[in-house]
Amino acid sequence: MNKPLRRIAIFCGVLILALLVRTNYLQYVRADELNSRDENRRVRIERYAHERGNIIVDGNPVTGSVATEGSDFKYKRVWKNGPMWAPVTGYSSQAFDATQLESIEDGILTGNDDQLFFDRTLSMFTGEKKQGGNVVTTLNGDAQKAAFKGLGNKKGAVVALDPRTGAILALASTPSYDPSVFAGNSNKDSKARQELLNDKDKPMLNRALRETYPPGSTFKVVTAAAALENGLHSDIDAKTDSPLPWRLPLSTDNLANEGNIPCENASLREALRISCNTVFGKMSDDLGNEKMIEEANKFGFNKEIFTPVRAEASIYPKDNRPQNAMAGIGQASNRATPLQMAMVAAAVANDGKLMQPYMVAQRQAPNLDVIYTHEKEQFSQPLSAENAQKLQQMMETVVQNGTGRNAQIPNVTVGGKTGTAQHGLNNSEKPYAWFISYAKTKAGSPVAVAVVVEDGAAVSDDISGGGLAAPIARDVMKAVLARSR
């Protein structure tokens, strides 16, 4: 071969090699990136070319699929009672992608997950239509209905857990929205979503997981746990060294109680029963900021929680002495999600053992074969069994003859703690009403609940955890108990 032909042959060989390298680079190295690009419409068309698998509650789907008219996206998502279930499922939209379980479990629901590889391969040979798998949740439909109905037209949230396993039994947030109204890809869908985004009441905000509030006096349960665990107090009926009035450290101001209540040297049990700010504020100061942070962290503060849906991190702050005293009664920069405060109640109810919260019990293949089952997992041990049982006695006194009487259930042992958290600069806005609780039977504690309510229609003086939040918690607990019997 002469020299010019050899050069042409080498050049052509280099071109072919470059083409092979480029092709393999695109097909393998950048495959996932290219598949996920919004401009790649073929992937989205394939995603909506078949019916999506369902999200299951109590053995029944709360989602479905319907044919889409006038679009190359064949199917779109619909919900049964969308506003009630949106805080659990999130949304799946042809135009706006997906959130929460609809996003996290998208591989199973579309049938594209690696766990369904065998089913996809088999369908290629059998000619069966591709189907998505199902996601079976831990939710209790009756408890969810009680939570959603109890919140009504108020802003707020409810989280109910099974303290023994960490299973989420209810997760409600109001005001809510119907994900079906923007599940398609039309101008009507875009307009509906924009109206929701512009709504000043933020119906698309998941208040149960993504909003943090000052927990108010419900946080006194954590402060009491810190005092017991660190040996500051051991006898819940012994007098505490708690003067009245009690001046905030490094301050000229006294810490006030709500009304003229007998908090001087009150015992732990009595101080929780009537909710003494002075006792728990001084307790937090005596323990110090580091020990308070350490105990709060054991309950889950200062870290994001994944259920698998992400929950915002609750915050117990690193702060100075007066602010630490205020944080110890659930004020100052102390912030908590309803999920977090449900975890506090659950840990106490479960003799000090806190289980990892979760809401996916199983994943199913399209033929309903179970391909994943959740195994319960311990999150932490915030307090010993002995100290947890002392706190149970204290919380049960709150419900028996304290501020939590509205949570009483006949023939059931209920423990709880009310809270009314200040809101706005110098408490200028209407406070938040809190209640955390658990119900106990001979078989253990099947449910722990946290409720937060913001009632814009109520007079500020009428807003209280016992008045607004406790009845909602009671009804949720009753719903769970009715099924467990």
3-state secondary structure of 368: coil
On whether the CB atoms of residues 431 and 463 are closer than 8 A, the answer is: yes
**Rg of the Cα trace of the chain?**
27
Quick one: CA dihedral 169, 173, 176, 177, positive or negative? negative
Length of the chain: 485
3-state secondary structure of 113: coil
User: Is residue 217 flagged as an active site residue?
Assistant: yes
Residues 78 and 91: their CA atoms lie apart, in Å, by 9
DSSP per-residue letters across 127-154: -PPP---EEEE---HHHHHHHHHHHTTS
Residues 59 and 137: their CA atoms lie apart, in Å, by 9
Residues 409 and 478: their CA atoms lie apart, in Å, by 8
Residues 78 and 92: their CA atoms lie apart, in Å, by 9
Element (H, E) at 380: strand 378-380
Provide the phi-psi class of 374: left if phi over 0, else alpha when psi is between -120 and 50, else beta. Answer: beta
On whether the CB atoms of residues 44 and 125 are closer than 8 A, the answer is: no
Among 180, 217, 242, 267, the one annotated catalytic: 217
Active site amino acids: 217
